[in-house]
Structure formats: structure tokens, C-alpha cells
Structure 1
Amino acid sequence: MQTIFIILSCIVLLSILIPFIKLTHWTVRVFDYPRFQKFIFLIIIGLLFIAVDKNWLTISIFSLLVLAGLYLITVIVPYTPIGKKMIDKVKLNPNEKSLDILVYNVLQDNNKYQKLVELVNKKNPDIIFLLETNKEWMNNITEATKKYEYKIEVPLENTYGLLFYSKLPIKHQEINYLIDKEIPSIIADIEYNNEIVRLYGLHPTPPVPQENEESAERDAEILMIGKQAKEYGKACIVFGDLNDVAWSRTTKLFLKTSKMLDPRRGRGMFNTFHAHHWFLRWPLDHFFLSSQFRLIDMIREPNIGSDHFPILIKAVIRCDDTSGELDLDKDEKIEVEEKIKEGKSK
């Protein structure tokens, strides 16, 4: 039992330490994702301490497990109801209409088109942003999308196609290839409550062997969007499947760079992947709101066929409140520029 305790403790401690390594290879970055799972394993292994002989080695290892557990708590707590909120939740006034946005990575090989049609008809969002979409997906969901007058359609067969549908007028739109000529992102300026809101939709590559062995390109694209949002300086929302978790180093740098707010903070993880494996879930699909917005609601919708859950946000513009914004320090500014440079050079 003592040997098992020592081996398992070393494995879980190593998995907690690896994310501190500033390498972009997938074998390092994959350990960013399962923070809650590590905490559960750590508790289970810690309970084994009851059954082992108490000596200087096992006591020392148990002490390290306690320290690691306290660290993981600091990572997890911000994404629970007891964490500090970055953005306030409000109720709609009688004369207000919320801005409702649905984001869904459909899983290109998934053919349960009708389930998405039913969800869109039921929720009736103002904006739909669909990822991993090809022409087959585009053609099979027209029953739901035909009522959306404004659209940006970039169907692709490489699992990076984007479909954007809006009931609200699009005053300006862009299709950009910031890092890779085969990986699009979009910008859409929509008119909402007589104001212009800029929307950034993206889907960078994940750091996995079959997609991209490095996270450098993903990190660069996320941070470039963050800089664009900060430079825009007005009401905007960034959303999509970022293939990164809310607590990662890159996401924290994004929040500081963009001055945007994470509605998950103080509310929950809203895990959107993996829809079919309950114990292997983390938040990959995101909404980040500028300080002009308040949250009405954020909902992870039921599984409708993909490996991602759809996620819906309802927000409203109120007076500017910058109290939740985070600031970059000098070293972090240098780090952001280095990450962007590294990603663009790949």
C-alpha cells in the first residue's frame, strides 16, 4: 500500500507541476485542462494515507499533497458560486431586450442536424455561431437559419468552418485568417438597441497531436483578438471554441490584454467538452464581455449530438463598469508579445 501511495502521489503531483513549464508542446499543455479532475484524484490519494505506515517519507509526501490541494482550490474556487464575480447579473427592465447568443461546436461528422434546428427554434437567439461546419451542415439546418436575415458563412471541410447568423443588422463584417490561411475567424459589427456591438468569433487549433502539436498558434490567435478588442475600446464580445480552459495562463493573459470580463467567474465552470464523458469535462467554449455589459443569464444547453454542449448567453448593455477588469504588468506585456510572435512564426 505504501508503494502504491508513493507512486500515485508522485504522478498527481507531477501533473500539477507540469503546467508551470512554459513550453507550448501538447505533452505539456494538455495538463492545463483537468484541474478539477486532479483535485478529485488528489483527495482519493490523500485518503490512502490513512492506510499506509507513517514515516518521514509518507508524511512528507502527504504534506506536499495538502499544499497541492490548497493550490488547486485557488484555481477552482474562482469558477464556483463562492468566487468573486467579474460581471454583475441583472434583470431586464420592461423596455429592454437582451442580446442572446448561441455558440455550438457541432462536430463536423455529427449528422444530428434536426436536434440543432429544434434547439434554435426553441431558444430563438439573436445570434448563432456554429463551429466545425461544412456545406453539408449549412444546407441541412436551413429550416432554422432561413429566418436569420444577416449571415457570414465560411463552410469548410477541414473542421474549421464557421457559420454566423444574425437577426440584428450587420453594419460591418470581416473574415480573417490571423495565423493560418485555413483557420478563419470573424468580426461582425451588429446593431443592438441602437448601438453598435462588435463581435469576435474564433476557433483556433487545439494542442493535440492530430491537430497541432504546439499551442503557440492557438495562444497567438487568442491574444491577437484580445489586443484588437482592447484597441476597439467600445462594447464588444469575444466568443467561440477557444480550445483553451478558463484558468489557463493564456486565458488570463487574454483577460488582462483585452480588459474583458469572464461571466463564468463566481458562477461555475459551465463545462462544454466532452459531452459524452462526464468525468472528462472542462470549459472550452467561451464568452468574454466588455465592461459595458451585464449578464442576464448563461446556460449550458443539453447534449444534442456533438462532443461539445451548446452554450447560450443573454446579456444587456448598461453603464460602463471597469471594476472587474484585470491589468497587465510589464513582464506580462512582454510575454504577450513573445507569444504572438512565436505563434505567427510557426
Structure 2
Amino acid sequence: MNKSIVQKSLWIATIAIVVASILPNIAADYWLIDIFSNFKFQYLTLSIVLLISCFFLIKRRIVLLVLLSSAVLWNGYFIAPYYFQSNTTELPSHKKVKFTSINLHSSNSEKELVLQYITEDDPDVLILMEFTPTWQDALEPIMEAYPYRKLMPRNDNFGITVWSKYKMQGTADYFELNSKPSIIANLLIENISMSLIATHPIPPISQQTFENRNTHLSNILENRATYSDHLIIAGDFNTSSFSNHFRKLTRGDLKDSRLGFGLLPTWPANYLLFQTTLDHFLVSKNITVLERSTGKNIGSDHLPISLTVGIH
């Protein structure tokens, strides 16, 4: 291959990586730009590959090395805490509770696979999104294991339900925004009160839906004082951990449960190279995260996520 073509390609790729890495975090108010924030792990990997390539393919490489090093450091800044920052505290745990959240995918045909997964995973509290009447019928055999339930099936992608082995009162909330329901579940776990918000904002496929998603998430936090001191927010947020709009959610008393456990990407389930972190558990800082994981592919476009916490 012509050497000049290789060099030009490296320059183009470098500029593209640098722009895609940095622009979403300094110009985050446009939906199409914000989408690029979701793939920082991919940018980090490509930046390292390009950085190594420069040593062998480019003679006058100082500017390229500076640009690529900047991309590595920028993306690494967002990614490193998920591997090196501890998410646990030294507070005593009175009770361990396991939560599992699954975006079922409304058209997923793998009903038996989902049933098997939930049975083997055996969470104490189960959150299901894209919960349709068809899914309600399919999951009937395991429903009796969860005596406390709030079911809101729909025929679109925004049905939602919460099932619990612990005493629970669930109510629907639309956060003064639209007709897409979330569930506020007030749990009583060995005389300790906990609020769980199960939510599924709409995907940001236009400027209007982008702003709708952001307002949805912001409105949840505006009501923080009305929830229990022990709070978990769970669901498919349709934004990754790297977006400015997600990071705003952790400026108060909430933390990303992934910290210290790795990125644990969930979507798209069938395309490993493009996976990012759309499914989340945010927890209040008085809750100790004991375990955080993703599950196997169960036919959905999202992987399941599980969280085990210690309640103080």
C-alpha cells in the first residue's frame, strides 16, 4: 500500500477519534453529538492501536503522538474509575438483597430462555422493561415466587413491572412528562425502608426525544426528598455512563453501582465490539454495593444486569 495513503489515513483516523472523544463532553446539548459519548471504550482502544501504529509508520509524528495521547488520557479519565475506584464502604451490612433488571425486548421470542434465566438468577427484586401482555402470560409460571408485584404491561416498548419477595407498595409515576410509566416501589426489608425507581426513558433518536430523556431523568432527581434515604434507580436509561447527562445524576448522594466492578456493557447484546452501558443501577451512598454483574444473552438486544447490596 502507498505509504502516503497510510499516513493520510492515520491522520484522518486520529482527528476523527479526538473529535469523537472530546466533542460530546463539551457540546453535549445536541442529540447526535451526545450519541458519540457512548463509545469511549472503543475510542480508547482505537487510540492505543493508532498510537502504536504511529511509531512504526510515521516519521514526523510528534503532533500525532500528542493528539493520540490526549485521546487516550481523555477516554481513560472516564473509564479508569470503573476498574480502580472502590464502590464499597466499611459500614456494617444488616441484610444482603439482590436486584435484577432486564430489558426483555418486546418482540423477543426466547421466552423459555428468559424463564430459565430468572429462575436460576433468583433475585429478591426483579425489574422488567418492555413488559407486554404476551410477556406477562409467558412469565406466569414464576410469578408466584414474588408475592408483591406492580404490573404495567403495554403493547409498545414501554411496559414495566417490579416484582418483590419483600413487602412492597408500588405506584406509577410519569414525572410530569409523558405517557411512559415508571414505577416507584417502596420496599420494607427487615424494618428498613427503601425506595426503588424502575424507569425506561425514551431513546434519543431526535432532538425532541433527546430533551425528553434528559428531562425525564432530571425530574426523578428533583423529587429526591420524597423518596427513602435508601434509594436505587434502575432501568434502561438510554444513555451511557459517559454522557454528561448521566454524570449529572451522580452529583448528589447517588453513585454508579459499576464503580470498581468494570464497565459491564449491556447493549447491543449481539455485537460485542460496539457494546456500551445503557442499563444502570444508581444507588444512594448509604448502600454498599457487594456485587455487580451482567448476565448471559437471553434473546434481547440488552443483557440483564444484577446488583447485590448491603442494607445498613
- TM-score, L = length of structure 1: 0.83
SS at match of 1:101: strand
Q: Check if 1:248 corresponds to 2:251.
A: no
Given the superposition, is the C-alpha separation of residues 139 and 91 from structure 1 closer, same or farther in structure 2, using an over 3 Å criterion?
Answer: farther
Tell me if structure 2 keeps the 8 A contact 1:79–1:268.
Answer: yes
Q: State the partner residue of 2:135.
A: 137
Q: Check if 1:289 corresponds to 2:283.
A: yes
Q: State the partner residue of 1:162.
A: 160
Q: State the partner residue of 2:53.
A: 48
Alignment of 1:233-272 (within 5 A): 234-257=229-252, 259-272=253-266
Q: What is the alpha-carbon distance in structure 2 between the residues aligned to residue 219 and residue 306 of structure 1?
A: 24
Q: What is the alpha-carbon distance in structure 2 between the residues aligned to residue 159 and residue 301 of structure 1?
A: 21
- TM-score, L = length of structure 2: 0.91
The code of the aligned residue for 1:248 comes to S
Q: State the partner residue of 1:87.
A: 88
The code of the aligned residue for 2:247 comes to K
Tell me by how many angstroms 1:97 deviates: 4.1
Tell me if structure 2 keeps the 8 A contact 1:37–1:279.
Answer: yes
**2:21 equivalent among 12, 16, 19:** 16
Q: State the partner residue of 1:175.
A: 172
Tell me if structure 2 keeps the 8 A contact 1:29–1:207.
Answer: no
Q: What is the alpha-carbon distance in structure 1 between the residues aligned to residue 187 and residue 88 of structure 2?
A: 22
Q: What is the alpha-carbon distance in structure 2 between the residues aligned to residue 110 and residue 119 of structure 1?
A: 14
SS at match of 2:297: coil
Q: State the partner residue of 2:267.
A: 273
Alignment of 1:1-346 (within 5 A): 1-55=6-60, 58-80=61-83, 82=84, 84-88=85-89, 97-170=95-168, 172-178=169-175, 180-208=177-205, 214-232=209-227, 234-257=229-252, 259-318=253-312
Residue identity over aligned pairs, in percent, reads 23
Q: What is the alpha-carbon distance in structure 1 between the residues aligned to residue 213 and residue 48 of structure 2?
A: 32
The code of the aligned residue for 2:307 comes to I
SS at match of 1:178: coil
Once the two structures are superposed, residues 192-222 of structure 1 have per-residue CA deviations (whole angstroms, 9 ceiling, x without a partner) of: 011221111100012135xx76421111111
Q: What is the alpha-carbon distance in structure 2 between the residues aligned to residue 24 and residue 174 of structure 1?
A: 32
Q: What is the alpha-carbon distance in structure 1 between the residues aligned to residue 267 and residue 77 of structure 2?
A: 22
SS at match of 1:309: coil
Given the superposition, is the C-alpha separation of residues 213 and 18 from structure 1 closer, same or farther in structure 2, using an over 3 Å criterion?
Answer: farther
Given the superposition, is the C-alpha separation of residues 9 and 291 from structure 1 closer, same or farther in structure 2, using an over 3 Å criterion?
Answer: closer
CA RMSD of aligned residues (A): 2.0
Tell me by how many angstroms 1:268 deviates: 0.7
Q: What is the alpha-carbon distance in structure 2 between the residues aligned to residue 40 and residue 311 of structure 1?
A: 24
Could you tell me which runs of 5 or more consecutive residues in structure 2 were left unpaired when the two chains were aligned. 1-5
Tell me by how many angstroms 1:231 deviates: 5.0
Tell me by how many angstroms 1:269 deviates: 0.8
Q: State the partner residue of 1:321.
A: none
Q: What is the alpha-carbon distance in structure 1 between the residues aligned to residue 58 and residue 230 of structure 2?
A: 60
